[in-house]
Structure 1
């Protein structure tokens, strides 16, 4: 099993920096593999808590080298919730890579643990008779301080459900739980790494 590591985060920073400088991305220092993965950018200003700046990935297994290359740019520049990251923000960024593992079908919408499991929900919107789905990575509910029900309700809204959330609607949810390995690095650590390893 592949775990998220420092070289993967370095490759995401390399990709973003190369994009801003119009350069080629240096080759990655980790091995090929097929895994579901996410890239998350956060920005810390004035020593405050880092705030989400972009997070996009895939729940399907894909080649991790291409995956990190694609999603480091997609999450930085094309997350519709945020304006694109600009080069002047680089010094304030931190990047987290997530490799997702251990997919399991849950018995019901409460069959998971906050802080341990990421969750994927799928359900039919009774108002429009359409299928909706959304996911939160394992650290989201814990960071937000949510109960399981608060996380589920927030995820239903993220999926685009605008109706009243009742117990009977929640009970229609098919929930898949999963786990992940993470590695986080701040831009300053990335710069030090590059100086040390590449001179």
Structure 2
């Protein structure tokens, strides 16, 4: 199953496998990224190769030379000097890296539902990031993870009893300036949960934390390595995507400020309780 790091998920032909499987087992992660990594710049170069070959209607690139071991992975595209999100989709099912990056370089560039498909004119302003996910662990509760260190994946049942999942990569909460409670709230809204968030509901949310190995490459670096003398993009002059902010996700329209002012007393209490609690003790939630 494929998933957006901050958007709707896409189902592929793969079944989801054991999330405790790791592509790398090097101990605990620091700042959300493994110290000993297998990720490298060549993976981002390959993603650029795949995207450019498609946009230029040329033959697909040959298989790369980096490792082809299987990993859960995400490919993220950002654009411009302010690094606006342009696409981010990946999979929690371990995939051989050669095929996985080839597939998700395209999916994240062309099929992220929040954005129009990538155009050739945009490529020169892109940054590509590859994240390989590692060290999956079950959390004791919704707050058993660290901001800037762990990504989280939640599973829950929505108001209609349908099973839903959503994820944020390790860097998301820190980049957005969210605390743990705000991250959980936004992630639930992203996953399509529209009702009030109560202590009883949170007890039924299953959270799995993970780390990532991440590398980011700008098009300028890629062009220098590949010997591309002239940038192919004038993205600054092109309407590159729909005017939808990537965070919070589109589903937040069901959770507007007006409703927060009326109904969000719980989440404010949750933020306060979470910031002052002793992590050695069970979480205490306000009553409904």
Q: If the TM-score is normalised by the length of the shorter chain, which range does it land in? A: over 0.9
1:87 aligns with 2:97: no
1:186 aligns with 2:229: no
Structure 1 unaligned blocks of 5 or more: none
Q: 2:214 is paired with a residue of what secondary structure?
A: strand
Query: Mean Cα displacement is larger for which, 107-116 or 168-177?
Result: 168-177
Q: What pairs up with 1:42-81 in 2 under 5 angstroms?
A: 42-44=78-80, 47=81, 49-81=82-114
Aligned twin of 1:4 = 39
1:21, distance to aligned residue in structure 2 (A): 1.4
**C-alpha distance in 2, partners of 1:20/1:132?**
34
Output the TM-score relative to the length of structure 1: 0.93
Aligned twin of 2:152 = 119
Q: Is the 8 A contact 1:14 1:26 kept in 2?
A: no
Q: Is the 8 A contact 1:42 1:93 kept in 2?
A: yes
1:184, distance to aligned residue in structure 2 (A): 0.2
Once the two structures are superposed, residues 127-165 of structure 1 have per-residue CA deviations (whole angstroms, 9 ceiling, x without a partner) of 211111101111111110100010101110111111111
Over aligned residue pairs, what C-alpha RMSD do you find? 1.2
The structure that has the greater radius of gyration is 2
Structure 2 unaligned blocks of 5 or more: 1-23, 25-36, 229-288
Aligned twin of 1:167 = 199
Report which of the two has the higher share of strand: 1
Q: 2:222 is paired with a residue of what secondary structure?
A: helix
2:135 to 89, 95, 102: 102
Q: Is the 8 A contact 2:63 2:98 kept in 1?
A: no
1:193, distance to aligned residue in structure 2 (A): 1.0
Q: 1:71 is paired with a residue of what secondary structure?
A: helix
Segments ≥4 residues shifted beyond 3 Å: none
